[in-house]
Amino acid sequence: MTMRSATPEDIDDVLELLRADEEHLIGRPSRIGRSDLLQWLGRIDLGEDSWLLEEDGRLVACGWAQTRNGGFANWVQRACTRSPSPGTHEHLGSSSLTATGRCAASTR
């Protein structure tokens, strides 16, 4: 696995990951649009405040943190990724953490 900051060229892959996560969580088509993601990411410095995790060239997790105006962090991982044991899978879920320290984690 490799980790790096997000770039504007990653927006479509990040959007696909977010939409898949929401659909897995709520059981219906996601309503997250490109404009939603661009608005969220427009509040941060991608190079400093975002993280992408890739495995074999595929985006498996993304996160970003807004450190001003109340602060907020978001982390989303694919619903099913390979675990260290061949042939098995591990659910990673997603979570959000606000500046108040409250965490809303999905345990799907």
Higher pLDDT, 40 or 73: 40
Q: Are strands 89-90 and 58-66 parallel, antiparallel or unpaired?
A: unpaired
CATH number at residue 53: 3.40.630
Its domain, for residue 56, covers 2-105
φ/ψ of 83, rounded to 5, equals: -95, 175
Residues 6-40: tens digit of each pLDDT? 999 999 999 999 999 899 889 999 999 999 999 98
Residues 86-103: tens digit of each pLDDT? 333 333 444 443 333 333
The sign of the CA dihedral 53, 50, 101, 103 is negative
What total of structural domains would you count in the chain? 1
Residue listed under structure tokens 């405040």: 49
